[in-house]
Amino acid sequence: MPAQAAQSKRLKLASSSVTVAAPVSPADACDYVQINCGAVAITTTFSGLTGRSRPTEPGVNGALSGTAHIVRSYGCESGEGRRLHRYDRRSDETAVVNMRRGTGFHIPAQGDKMTVITYAFLTDLQPGNCPAGTTPMTYSIKADHVRLQLVSTWASVPSADYSVRGRAEWRGAVPTPTRVSAGQTS
């Protein structure tokens, strides 16, 4: 009976980390291939696989997805390279995080833990308020309040919701596109 109880219990979120990747400079366009406007990665390790039945054939056993709170600071830089603080703006969004290119996770054949990584590839939210002769800039990206949903297709690992502790921040100064429409910079 203890093995049956272990199999119906949700996995424990043993560890997690949130990281922010800086935008690429110069950002000609923001898309999911080039990741020009920054990205967020959430690495999670789940424990509690000991005592559960395991797949004997290779294949996808579930997916991990969710949301992360993202705050970005945008602004404008003069032709002389000075930040023009009066044009600073902040964007506040809830970004979707998912496994890269829709892949799923695999339950390992042995061991007590499995590690799964989810990503959010950010689109440009530059407000477009920079006057002529200045450069639109991204100055910071912060990520926190991550919520994940593990959806399992393997009976011994139940689906469950998790809150990830931790936050990450990138600070710098990177030019961004003024506007992105249908994958084109204008």
Peptide bond into 26 cis (omega under 30): yes
pTM of the model: 0.84
Give SS3 for 53. Answer: coil
40-64 pLDDT, tens digit each: 999 999 999 999 999 988 889 999 9
Is residue 180 in some structural domain? Answer: no
Helices within 75-114 (DSSP H only): none
- How far apart are alpha carbons 38 and 139 in whole angstroms? 11
The answer for residues whose C-beta is within 8 angstroms of residue 131's C-beta and 6 or more apart is 76, 87
Is residue 84 in some structural domain? Answer: no
101-138 pLDDT, tens digit each: 768 999 999 999 999 999 998 887 888 889 999 998 99
Report the mean per-residue pLDDT for the chain: 86
Is residue 120 in some structural domain? Answer: yes
Is residue 32 in some structural domain? Answer: yes
Q: Amino acid identity of 184?
A: Q
Place of tokens 């829709």: 102
What is the tally of structural domains in the chain? Answer: 1
Which domain, by its residues, includes 151? 2-70+95-126+145-169
